[in-house]
Structure 1
């Protein structure tokens, strides 16, 4: 979660590549930066969900393998 917050928070303001641009070019550059940030945040969240799923499935298999059979 900290990784996600830090990555989103570090993009505020005008990025280095957009300095010196004006009008529509500046707006397009900032919008492209915002889209890149959203894609990066989505990838971080997707990775987080995938790891949680794998860990949960592994724990479930471990619990089922270690339980006593019914008599």
Structure 2
């Protein structure tokens, strides 16, 4: 699920954003660069959330295994 989310988020950076279509020259370049930075931050947040969920699930698994071990 996270992999699909990352791919979908990263693919939104392709092409010129709709808000930048009426711009030219340096304004267009600045608008496209800002869009790419926003996409990078968004994908980074998704990957961070993915890592946090993995840690939480791993910790939950360890607690479950310790609770069900034989003494």
Instruction: Compute the TM-score of the two structures, normalised by the length of structure 2.
Output: 0.93
- 1:10: Cα distance to partner? 2.3
Structure 1 outlier segments of 4+, above 6 Å = none
List gaps (5 residues or longer) in structure 1.
none
Tell me the alpha carbon deviations over residues 38-70 of structure 1, each in whole angstroms, 9 at most, x when there is no partner.
Answer: 00000100000000100000000000111011x
What is the match of residue 70 of structure 2? 68
List gaps (5 residues or longer) in structure 2.
none
What is the match of residue 30 of structure 2? 28
2:25 and 2:40 mapped to 1: Cα distance?
23
Instruction: Compute the TM-score of the two structures, normalised by the length of structure 1.
Output: 0.93
- 1:5: Cα distance to partner? 0.3
Q: How many residue pairs get matched?
A: 69
Tell me the alpha carbon deviations over residues 7-37 of structure 1, each in whole angstroms, 9 at most, x when there is no partner.
Answer: 1112210000001111110110000000000
Q: CA RMSD in A?
A: 0.7
Higher relative contact order (CA 8 A, sep 6+): 2
